[in-house]
């Protein structure tokens, strides 16, 4: 089951990458190609929704984010990313508290606006896009009827690439996600409310 989820996520990432390449066809005729692959360690902090019953609070966690970006011009680019972590989703419902440990997968695509600056080896950017978040319960905490669930998300953020050499450097980034609180298919856990996930990260990239 876990292998199937990872396969689906990677297929989704590949599909987003293909879409980016297709949309860039016109730009490629005029602009030199710039590709970049990145790998980053992330922290995930989700806003608690505890002002109602049922309520939700997700544990803080660390994870991994890998991505491919394509710069069409000096100003514009696009990227596709896959991220993974594992956390606990804690609920308080009318029937009492419930906790689910879940694998968390993110597959997103975004347009990237590059910001030219007069600082050598520093390349700041901002981004905005969308994608899917997959919440898949593990066997550590079992809640009867809980199912894997996918939520659509809006993603925004920004950061900077710091070139160490022509083809290698460090990336620091912040991403924010807005999405509907998962209920794992259970009416008793349905908040019918949106939440916000903050995801700061730092890692390395290779350009080619």
As a whole number, mean pLDDT of residues 129-135 equals 98
Report whether pLDDT(105) > 60.
yes
Q: How far apart are CA 144 and CA 169, in angstroms?
A: 47
Overall average pLDDT of the 90-116 stretch: 93
- In the predicted model, is pLDDT for residue 14 greater than 80? no
- Which of the residue ranges 4-8, 22-26, 65-69, 204-208 would you say has the lowest mean pLDDT? 22-26
Query: Does the structure show a pLDDT above 80 at 167?
Result: yes
The CATH topology of domain 2-207 is: Porin (2.40.160)
Q: Determine the pLDDT at residue 33.
A: 53
Summarize the confidence of residues 111-130 as an average pLDDT: 94
Residue range 64-74: average pLDDT?
95
pLDDT interval class at 95 (50, 70, 90): confident
> Which pTM was predicted?
0.82
For the stretch 172-184, pLDDT in tens is 999 999 999 999 9
Can you give the pLDDT at residue 25? Answer: 44
What is the reported pLDDT for 30?
Answer: 45
* Residue-level pLDDT at 15: 52
The domain spans of the chain are 2-207
| pLDDT at 51 (0 to 100) | 87
| Confidence bin at 141 (pLDDT 50/70/90) | confident
Mean pLDDT of 119-135: 96
């Amino acid at each position: 089951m876990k292998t199937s989820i990872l396969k689906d996520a990677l297929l989704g990432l590949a599909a987003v990458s293909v879409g980016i390449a297709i949309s860039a066809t016109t730009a490629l005729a005029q602009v030199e190609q710039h590709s970049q692959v990145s790998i980053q360690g992330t922290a995930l902090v989700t806003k608690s929704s505890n002002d109602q019953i049922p309520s939700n609070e997700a544990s803080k966690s660390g994870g991994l984010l890998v991505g491919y970006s394509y710069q069409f011009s000096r100003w514009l680019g696009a990227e596709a990313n896959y991220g993974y972590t594992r956390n606990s989703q804690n609920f308080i419902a009318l029937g009492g508290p419930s906790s689910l440990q879940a694998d968390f997968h993110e597959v997103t695509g975004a347009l990237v606006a590059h910001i030219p600056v007069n600082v050598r080896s520093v390349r700041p950017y901002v981004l905005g896009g969308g994608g899917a978040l997959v919440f898949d319960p593990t066997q550590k905490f079992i809640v009867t009827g809980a199912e894997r669930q996918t939520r659509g998300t809006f993603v925004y953020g920004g950061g900077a690439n710091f070139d160490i050499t022509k083809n290698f450097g460090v990336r620091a980034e912040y991403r924010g996600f807005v999405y509907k609180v998962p209920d794992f298919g259970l009416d008793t856990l349905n908040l019918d409310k949106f939440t916000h996930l903050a995801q700061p990260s730092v890692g390395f990239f290779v350009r080619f």
